[in-house]
Chain A
């Protein structure tokens, strides 16, 4: 991610998640976005979004880092059932849940971290609905 792109990402995030995010880059240019989000009328969650140095040509990954343990409507740890098509969960990494957000073929460089956060928020909203209804997340987000 170059300087111009980073500025845009920060501007958009600052106006939508003021004071709730931290965007950093390592020496090679790989990016980490830590962001706190709240589901309207629901809980608060911590997301970690990581991106390779060639972001936005490559798609970032989204991890749920807080709370550490998330359970499904039947009380099972989501980590134990990942990856899961029904729950839109990819293979976990470092014991963190990895959310499925954009399909690879839908990704393009004009998608920003902000949109990835919005997609993650949709997953969290669907998750909270799943807890109440017991229906899989695919019922809310599609396949």
Chain B
């Protein structure tokens, strides 16, 4: 006996197809299906907004009641180039019956069709923590789509955020793959476009804008984008871009989350800016923040190395940490982001709002460098140790020239 096929279609495409068929009195519509592993078919009558697994295959949509299917229809399908395995989805014009599908070569078979509503599913799953659909209208700007920003974008899409502005001027390089959310198939692509596809693959109804410029140069764009978004995530690796984002967020009166790793991702930190509170420049002018930023690319290395560094020194600085070391930092950045985006009456806020009161969080991955003096984790819970979050009080610097000028 043949293993059952699995057919799926997006609810939004199904609805549009039904209404278009009604308007234009269509009975038969061509489309494309992506078949993975020879048994899983995703059907589209419009171009999908995200890359699909598997290989494309012609597919057909029949708008008719099951009882109206006739032999002449099968002949018509064959004439239109249907292959025996081409999926045929039968859609009741009035929506009175569930859609079903069959391979064009076996019209006597009937398989159910999964109608996918990713946005609805995303909203309903976490309902006990965050009421469904609340983040659909929220808009986030993510600056920097490397190992931090790419993962954060996907996590926020999974949490139901509906609008994204993705900014990065780089292309995905083979060296990025060990930590990036994108895959080897994306090497050479703009990070913005590759990450956009990941977001849309989670939530095809999300609205995604991209910007492929340098935020250090395109200040006007950055300030405007900050004004138009509810929250800004700065996931870049350089102090300059972080300070430029800070200036834009302070000017626009928008909250921002900054995450970074320090050398070889031995640890890292996450900072949250809320209008009226200490800004990123306050954090640095108020005594500085320990730890040199992690250098994960040759370009960052060239900037970090002094001109008089010996030959080969810049290259030696490129020592990115493991994806596993980045994960807790991105996780915290996303958690703080959700807190900023969610209304305060949500269950998410009930305790977490108190727990995450501090504006600055420090994390250590290994007892190296900055954290060399930490005692071993062992069984202690009352001493500084690796793999724990530490909230740090940060006061607003009254002489800060970044947030005190307004």
Let me know if A56 is at the binding interface, CB within 8 A.
yes
Bound state CA distance, A12 and B306, in angstroms? 29
CB distance from B263 to the nearest CB of A (A): 11
A110 touching B281, Cβ below 8 Å: yes
Bound state CA distance, A107 and B306, in angstroms? 14
Let me know if B94 is at the binding interface, CB within 8 A.
no
Let me know if A5 is at the binding interface, CB within 8 A.
yes
Given A57-B240, A57-B243, A104-B239, residue A109 in contact with residue B281 (CB < 8 A): yes
> B107-127: which residues lie under 8 A (CB-CB) from chain A?
none
**Within the complex, which residue of A59, A104, A110 is in contact with B399, where a contact is CB–CB below 8 Å?**
A110
Given A58-B240, A85-B308, A104-B239, residue A109 in contact with residue B247 (CB < 8 A): yes
Interface size classification for chain A? 20 to 34
B397 touching A54, Cβ below 8 Å: no
Given A83-B307, A85-B308, residue A109 in contact with residue B292 (CB < 8 A): no
Bound state CA distance, A8 and B405, in angstroms? 9
Bound state CA distance, A108 and B247, in angstroms? 12
Let me know if B285 is at the binding interface, CB within 8 A.
yes
Bound state CA distance, A59 and B307, in angstroms? 15
Bound state CA distance, A54 and B223, in angstroms? 12
**Within the complex, which residue of A83, A89, A107, A110 is in contact with B239, where a contact is CB–CB below 8 Å?**
A107
B308 touching A83, Cβ below 8 Å: yes
B239 touching A53, Cβ below 8 Å: no
B285 touching A110, Cβ below 8 Å: yes
B400 touching A110, Cβ below 8 Å: yes
Bound state CA distance, A53 and B214, in angstroms? 13
B401 touching A112, Cβ below 8 Å: yes
Let me know if B304 is at the binding interface, CB within 8 A.
yes
Bound state CA distance, A140 and B397, in angstroms? 31
Max chain B CB contacts within 10 Å: which of A4, A54, A89? A54
CB distance from B238 to the nearest CB of A (A): 9
A108 touching B281, Cβ below 8 Å: yes
> A73-97: which residues lie under 8 A (CB-CB) from chain B?
83-85, 89-91
Bound state CA distance, A109 and B403, in angstroms? 10
Bound state CA distance, A58 and B243, in angstroms? 8
What A residues does B159 contact at CB under 8 A? none
Let me know if A100 is at the binding interface, CB within 8 A.
yes
What A residues does B162 contact at CB under 8 A? none
Let me know if A105 is at the binding interface, CB within 8 A.
yes
Bound state CA distance, A89 and B402, in angstroms? 29
Let me know if A27 is at the binding interface, CB within 8 A.
no
B243 touching A109, Cβ below 8 Å: yes
Bound state CA distance, A23 and B281, in angstroms? 24
Given A54-B219, A89-B308, residue A110 in contact with residue B244 (CB < 8 A): no
> Which partner residue on chain B sits nearest A89 by CB separation?
B308
Interface string of A97-119 (1 = CB under 8 A from B): 01010001111111110000000
A91 touching B402, Cβ below 8 Å: no
Max chain B CB contacts within 10 Å: which of A104, A105, A109? A109
**Within the complex, which residue of B217, B243, B292, B402 is in contact with A105, where a contact is CB–CB below 8 Å?**
B292
CB distance from B359 to the nearest CB of A (A): 16
What A residues does B309 contact at CB under 8 A? 85
Interface string of B374-400 (1 = CB under 8 A from A): 000000000000000000000001011
Max chain A CB contacts within 10 Å: which of B239, B247, B292, B304? B239
Let me know if B303 is at the binding interface, CB within 8 A.
yes
A57 touching B293, Cβ below 8 Å: no
CB distance from A12 to the nearest CB of B (A): 10
Binding site for A on B (CB under 8 A): 216-217, 219, 239-241, 243-244, 246-247, 281, 284-285, 288, 292-293, 303-304, 306-309, 397, 399-402, 405
CB-defined A-B contacts under 8 Å, sample of 23: A4-B405, A8-B401, A53-B219, A56-B243, A56-B402, A83-B306, A83-B307, A83-B308, A84-B308, A89-B308, A100-B308, A104-B239, A105-B292, A105-B293, A107-B239, A108-B288, A109-B243, A109-B246, A109-B247, A110-B281, A110-B285, A110-B399, A110-B400
Nearest 6 Cβ contacts at the A-B interface: A57-B243, A108-B284, A83-B308, A83-B307, A110-B285, A85-B308
In addition to A104-B303, A109-B243, A112-B401, 14 A-B residue pairs with Cβ atoms within 8 Å of each other are: A4-B405, A54-B216, A54-B217, A54-B244, A57-B246, A58-B216, A58-B240, A90-B308, A107-B239, A108-B243, A109-B246, A110-B284, A110-B397, A110-B400
Binding site for B on A (CB under 8 A): 4-5, 8, 52-54, 56-59, 83-85, 89-91, 98, 100, 104-112
